[in-house]
Amino acid sequence: MPGEKEWETYFSPRKTLVALGLKKGMVVADLGCGYGTFAIVAAQIVGNKGKVFALDIDRKLLRVVEKRAHEKHLKNVIPILADISAGKERELLATVDFALLANIIHGTKSKFRLLKATADLLKPNGVVAVLNWKVEKTPRGPPIRMRPTEKQTVRWLNRAGYVDPVVLDVPQYHYAVVARLSRS
C-alpha cells in the first residue's frame, strides 16, 4: 500500500460507503482495515449508536487507526488484531450489519474461507461489500492478473452463501459488489 495520503486519492471513502449502503446506527466490520481509510469515515457515518470493528493482522496499522480515531474524537472505533481468514473472532459472531472487504480479496489465498468467515460475523440480514480494483490499467494497485473480475467476485459470493449481488462502479479505479446473506 502507498502512504496514507496517496491512498486516499484513489477513491472517496465517504461517497463510496454511502453508495454501498452504510447507514447511521449500523455495526460495521472493516476486515483488513489498513490505515483505517474506510473505518474512520464509517465511524462518522454510523455515529454514536453504531460502531466499527477495525480488524487487521498488522499491529502497526492498527496503531495508526487508533491514533486517527483519537484525533477525531471517535469513540466507536474498536481496533482488533486478527487474521480475518481464521474465523476466530467469536465475540463478533452474528453481530455485524455491514462487513467491508476493501482491496483485500485479490491477495487472499482462500477467497471461500474468507467469505465464509465473514458470513459468520454477519447478522442474518447483514450485508457484505467487496471492493476491488478494476481489471484495467490503473496508476496503482496489484498486478492485473491478480485482480478478480466482477463475475468472479459474484461467483465466489454466491458459493459462500450470499445472494442478490449488486455491482457498483466506485470512481475512479474500483468496483464493488454488495450482497446479503441468504439466511433470514
Ligand X SMILES: C[S@@+](CC[C@H](N)C(=O)[O-])C[C@H]1O[C@@H](n2cnc3c(N)ncnc32)[C@H](O)[C@@H]1O
Residues that bind ligand X (CB under 6 A): 1, 32-34, 37-38, 55-58, 61, 82-85, 102-104
Rounded to whole angstroms, the Cα distance separating 171 from 106 reads 19
Least separation in angstroms between CB 127 and ligand X: 17
Phi, psi of 165 (to 5 degrees): -65, 135
Q: Locate the DSSP E strands across 2-63.
A: 27-31, 51-56
Nearer to ligand X among residue 146 and residue 163 (C-beta)? 146
Least separation in angstroms between CB 33 and ligand X: 6
Nearer to ligand X among residue 110 and residue 125 (C-beta)? 110
Residue nearest to ligand X (CB): 34
Nearer to ligand X among residue 6 and residue 83 (C-beta)? 83
Least separation in angstroms between CB 93 and ligand X: 17
Least separation in angstroms between CB 142 and ligand X: 8
DSSP symbols for 75-108? -SEEEEE--TTT---GGGTT-EEEEEEES-GGG-
Least separation in angstroms between CB 47 and ligand X: 21
Nearer to ligand X among residue 45 and residue 104 (C-beta)? 104
Rounded to whole angstroms, the Cα distance separating 105 from 3 reads 20
Are 33 and 56 within 8 A, CB to CB?
yes
Nearer to ligand X among residue 30 and residue 97 (C-beta)? 30
Task: Mention every residue, 6+ apart, whose C-beta is less than 8 A from residue 96.
Answer: 27, 28, 29, 53, 121, 122, 123, 126
